[in-house]
Amino acid sequence: MYEYAIVGKGMIGAAAARYLSQWSDAVVLIGPDEPQGDWSAHDGVFASHYDQGRITRCMDGSLAWALWATRSIAAYPEIEAQSGIRFHYRSGGVQVGFTTTDPNSNLNKAERNALYLGTAYEKYTSEAFRTLYPEVHFDDGLTVLHETGEAGYINPRALVAAQVKIAAAQGADVVRETVVALDTKGNGVALTTDGGQTIRAKQVLVAAGAWTEFLTGAKLDLLPMPRTIVLAQVDAAEAARLKRMPTIIWYEGVNNPDIEGVYILPPIEYPDGNTYIKLGGALHHVAVPQSATDLNQWFHGSGSSIEARALEQELRRVIPGLRTEAVHAKTCVVTNRVKGDVPLIEPIVAGKVMVATAGLGAAAKSSNEIGRLAALQLQRMKSE
């Protein structure tokens, strides 16, 4: 019997496995690899980290999120060195919003937390920022906070691979299957996989993202929110023109009737050999999946055409004259909570099962710290 089992080989689960395998020699990490080929033919679970780019930055309107990001980013060099896998790219990052004296605005809270934590940044009007980065255009009258230092983006696929590699080197077993059932009766927990295995552990951490509630059957008040992302393919010349481009989080001033907020990453090379600018946002009105089947059906499709069209419009507004080879839409899911603006890390079966989920679309950059906190909580649960 294992001491600890982690269900979900994503960003939080892989981080938790790395920490738990430092403290115990009886750890198993269970989760499938990324489906290959046509997603519409895959009948198993998905994960939203199947991608090459996630924004990383310390500046945040929430002090808790800013602290978790700062701690996670500080751990990136050690993870890269131990695994030999690079995943962190320093492009800088900007956050854009209304110019206001309201202390509770997104930007003013983010700036206050940056000052408190000593985060390196510079502040500009949108007009002044255009003189420094003429390839990027924001409307007049906005404020731009430009975070320097470690800000930029991470490759989430590579970060997960790095965490898993280190955990395995520390003695953790990795089972590349999907858990389909948990039985908490008797001694420990019995986990059944889609490969027919029964794996037993004294304690279990479920970090299965949007599937957590459906797998465990626990009422966690999660909101799996479908999102559409856009990948705008650019050629080598256009990628070179935009090589100084920072990551962008545009809070207010996105005057589009269909979406609120936009994030944009600089050109990144993908496994197919092409280079893409990735962006996403939030559709105003979206149906929340009510079952694992609903979630799978969403990933089998190509997303919302309304959201994709609105995102492309905003991309071409932010980068005037953008030359694209093609524009593709893909699916994603953000796990929110009915109440609460931080991840959910709590026991659901006393002494046996804990969950770590609800990244709220912001957990990638901070996943190492969230995984560490979940691992610590699981350890603490053992002694309670």
240-288 pLDDT, tens digit per residue, is 999 999 999 998 878 889 998 899 999 999 999 999 999 999 998 888 9
| Rounded Cα–Cα distance for residues 382 and 384 (Å) | 6
Q: Could you tell me the pLDDT band of residue 84, with boundaries at 50, 70 and 90?
A: very high
- Tokens 């489906």: give the residue: 35
Residue 350 lies in a domain: yes
Main-chain dihedrals φ then ψ at residue 181, nearest 5 degrees: -160, 150
Q: Dump pLDDT digits (tens) for 100-158.
A: 999 999 999 999 999 999 999 999 999 999 999 999 999 999 999 999 999 999 999 99
Count: domains in the chain? 1
- Name which of 2, 10, 49, 15 is nearest 31 in CA terms: 10
Residue 254 lies in a domain: no
Q: Chain centroid to CA 340: how far?
A: 17
User: The CATH number of the domain where 2 resides is what?
Assistant: 3.50.50.60
- Name which of 231, 235, 247 is nearest 90 in CA terms: 247
Residue 265 lies in a domain: no
Residue 23 lies in a domain: yes
Angle, helices 367-383 vs 63-83, to 10°: value is 100
CA distances from 115 to 49, 106, 342 (A): 31, 14, 22
In the predicted structure, residue 342 carries a pLDDT above the cut 90: yes
pTM of structure: 0.96
| Rounded Cα–Cα distance for residues 52 and 263 (Å) | 15
β-bridge pairing 88-89 and 93-98: unpaired
Residue 144 lies in a domain: no
Find the mean pLDDT for residues 360-372: 97
Contact 245, 136 (CB under 8 A): yes
- For the chain, what is the mean pLDDT? 95
| Rounded Cα–Cα distance for residues 221 and 223 (Å) | 7
Main-chain dihedrals φ then ψ at residue 316, nearest 5 degrees: -75, -20
Main-chain dihedrals φ then ψ at residue 61, nearest 5 degrees: -70, -20
Q: Dump pLDDT digits (tens) for 47-65.
A: 879 999 999 999 999 999 9
| Rounded Cα–Cα distance for residues 274 and 21 (Å) | 37
Sign of the CA dihedral with 123 first, then 125, 131, and 137 last:
positive
Identify which has the larger pLDDT, 384 or 379. Answer: 379
The reported pLDDT for the residue numbered 383 is 64
Domain range for 343 is 1-34+42-87+155-221+339-384
Contact 370, 343 (CB under 8 A): yes
Contact 79, 159 (CB under 8 A): yes
| Rounded Cα–Cα distance for residues 321 and 106 (Å) | 29
